[in-house]
């Protein structure tokens, strides 16, 4: 199977974590016990020292990375499922992908969830387990309830789409049996601008708002009106954290992504943010995107030749067109990357301690999908090429961690967002 990965470097944006706002670099210093992360390893507190330039975001001292066991130990993987994946909001699909009277299954770790739309158009989510003896209710990945009800394939217990038990076969019932006590186990579900999220945590706050204050960068894109034009899913032989760490730095970009560096000159310098350059203030007078970020002169979008015949999304500003992208991430499951003619979602899902699934969706306007001159294949091919390059690096990284000599790595100055991600993971394990 073809392997793919995805990188923030592919979209030239950065610092998109609530964690960064909570623990700004140059100001945070906290001791983190690793007893929950690894039974026999502790990591000393990570600190960033002060500097005269308070806006410089790069690391100012050598920082240790996570211990290698966190990337392949099955027990550690189980801990992260419970502390991270079962507690955070996970992206599933677009709202329009689930019709009335239909469902979609979504698996996170060993938990299988049904997302259902009832006849009134409301979305519900449930654990995919019958209240009788625990059988799975739906075995297909998606489908329609032709009877208008959820029927267990084992003994025929029947549930309304609002989760209430409506029918139980049998010649007689126990005298103390109350159907109202056997509704399906609910799961929190929320829709944000057409994107469906679920959260397995029973205490999850309803009406989820992803991305925090940084959501403004996507405000000008008509996300609710988009239509799916292409999608694919692939597996990478790496831990899910390897994927996100690779996505959080562009230190690797000059040697791994030559095509990307042509479209986005700053990544050719090995940085995502101009403030990762200690001399960034001295370069403020240089207008070239190599120093200020954004796409290269003459480039319009992320395609094989940087061009497009599609109409830009209405409502984009001159700054949006110049930057070439709006991007936001919602750890641990989603990246939204918005160009002037396409919006991509990258959904991350752990399949095991050393395997990760990446699903990519391409959304376009109805106008551009109907335009025979619009070459969406060029958008898709460019992204695939970058993804394949990242996939190989992620898998090489995963393989090398098994060395008996290697215990943990170190982070270089431009890997400050890797540090932010690692701290975020540890904060969930505390």
**Do the beta carbons of residue 9 and residue 253 sit within 8 Å?**
yes
CA proximity to 275, closest of 55, 26, 10: 55
Band the pLDDT of 214: cuts 50, 70, 90. low
Band the pLDDT of 209: cuts 50, 70, 90. confident
pTM (predicted TM-score)? 0.86
What digits encode the pLDDT tens for the residues 172-183?
999 999 999 999
With b for 16 or more beta-carbon neighbours within 10 A and e for fewer, the 183-215 pattern comes to: bbeebbbbebbbbbbbbbeeebeeebebbeebb
CA proximity to 125, closest of 135, 134, 112, 136: 112
Q: Which residues partner with 47 through β-bridges?
A: 29
- Please report the pLDDT score of residue 52 as a whole number: 53
SS3 string, the chain, reads CCCCCCCHHHCCCCCCCHHHHHCCCCCCEECCCCCCCCCCCCCCCEECCCCCCCCCCCCCCCEEEEEHHHHCCHHHHHHHHHHHHCCCCEEEEEHHHCCCCEEEEEEECCEEEEEEECCCCCEEEEECCCCCCCCCCCCCCEEECCCCCEECCCCCCEECCCCCEEECCCCCCCCCCCHHHCCCCECEEEEECCEEEEECCCCCCCCCCCCHHHHHHHCCCCHHHCEEEEEEEEEECCCHHHHHHHHCCCCCHHHHCHHHHHHCHHHHHCCCCHHHCCCCCCCCCCCCHHHHCCCCCCCCCCCCCCCCCCCCCCCCCHHHHHHCCEEEEECCCEEEEECCCCEEEEEEEEEECCEEEEEEEEEECHHHHCCCCCCHHHHHHHHHHHHHHHHHHHHHHHHHCCCCCCCEEEECHHHHHHHHHHHHHHHHHC
Using a pLDDT cut of 90, give the percent of the chain over it.
64
Domain architecture of the chain: domains with CATH: 3-87+211-429 (3.90.380.10), 90-199 (2.102.10.10)
- Please report the pLDDT score of residue 412 as a whole number: 94
- Please report the pLDDT score of residue 110 as a whole number: 97
- Please report the pLDDT score of residue 304 as a whole number: 86
Q: Is the model's pLDDT at 333 over the cut of 80? A: yes
CA proximity to 403, closest of 71, 35, 77, 78: 71
Query: Angle CA(367)–CA(370)–CA(376) in degrees, nearest 5?
Result: 95
Question: In this structure, what are the phi and psi dihedrals at residue 382, rounded to the nearest 5 degrees?
Answer: -65, -45
Measured torsion, CA atoms of residues 63, 68, 73, 75, in degrees rounded to the nearest 10 = -30
**Do the beta carbons of residue 336 and residue 344 sit within 8 Å?**
yes
What digits encode the pLDDT tens for the residues 10-64?
333 333 433 333 233 333 333 333 444 443 333 333 444 444 577 888 899 999 9
Q: How far apart are the first and last CA of the chain?
A: 37
Mean of per-residue pLDDT scores for the chain: 86
What digits encode the pLDDT tens for the residues 268-279?
888 888 888 888
């Amino acid at each position: 199977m073809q392997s793919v990965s995805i990188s923030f470097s592919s979209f030239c944006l950065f610092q998109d974590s609530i964690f960064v706002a909570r623990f700004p670099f140059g100001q945070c210093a906290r001791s983190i016990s690793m007893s929950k992360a690894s039974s026999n390893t502790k990591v000393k507190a990570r600190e960033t020292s002060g500097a005269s330039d308070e806006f410089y975001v790069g690391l100012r001292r050598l920082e240790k990375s996570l211990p290698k066991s966190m990337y392949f130990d099955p027990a550690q993987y189980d801990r992260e499922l419970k502390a991270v994946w079962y507690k955070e909001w996970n992206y599933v699909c677009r709202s329009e992908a689930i019709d009335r009277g239909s469902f979609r299954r979504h698996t996170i770790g060993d938990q299988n969830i049904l997302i259902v739309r009832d006849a009134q158009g409301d979305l519900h989510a449930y654990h995919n387990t019958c209240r009788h003896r625990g059988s799975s209710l739906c075995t297909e990945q998606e489908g329609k309830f032709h009877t208008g009800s959820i029927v267990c394939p084992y003994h025929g217990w029947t549930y309304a789409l609002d989760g209430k038990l409506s029918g139980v076969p049998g010649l007689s019932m126990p005298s103390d049996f109350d159907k109202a006590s056997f509704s399906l186990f609910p799961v929190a579900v929320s829709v944000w601008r057409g994107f469906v999220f679920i959260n397995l945590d029973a205490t999850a706050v309803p009406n989820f708002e992803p991305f925090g204050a940084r959501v403004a960068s996507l405000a000008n894109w008509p996300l609710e009106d988009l239509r799916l034009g292409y999608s694919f899913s692939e597996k990478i032989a790496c831990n899910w954290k390897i994927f996100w760490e690779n996505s959080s730095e562009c230190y690797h970009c000059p040697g791994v992504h030559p095509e990307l560096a042509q479209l986005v000159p700053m990544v050719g310098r090995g940085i995502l943010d101009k403030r990762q350059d200690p001399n960034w203030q001295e370069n403020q007078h240089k207008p070239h995107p190599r120093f200020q970020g954004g796409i290269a002169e003459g480039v319009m979008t992320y395609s094989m030749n940087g061009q497009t015949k599609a109409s830009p999304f209405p409502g984009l500003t001159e700054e949006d067109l110049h930057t070439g992208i709006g991007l936001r991430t919602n750890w641990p499951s989603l990246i939204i990357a918005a160009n002037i003619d396409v919006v991509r979602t990258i959904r991350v899902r752990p399949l095991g301690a050393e395997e990760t699934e990446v699903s990519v969706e391409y959304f376009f306007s109805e106008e551009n999908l109907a335009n025979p001159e619009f070459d969406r294949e060029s958008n898709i091919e460019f992204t695939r090429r970058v993804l394949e390059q990242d996939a190989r690096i992620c898998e090489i990284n995963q393989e090398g961690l098994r060395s008996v000599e290697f215990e943990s790595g170190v982070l270089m100055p431009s890997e400050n967002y890797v540090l932010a991600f690692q701290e975020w993971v540890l904060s969930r394990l505390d």
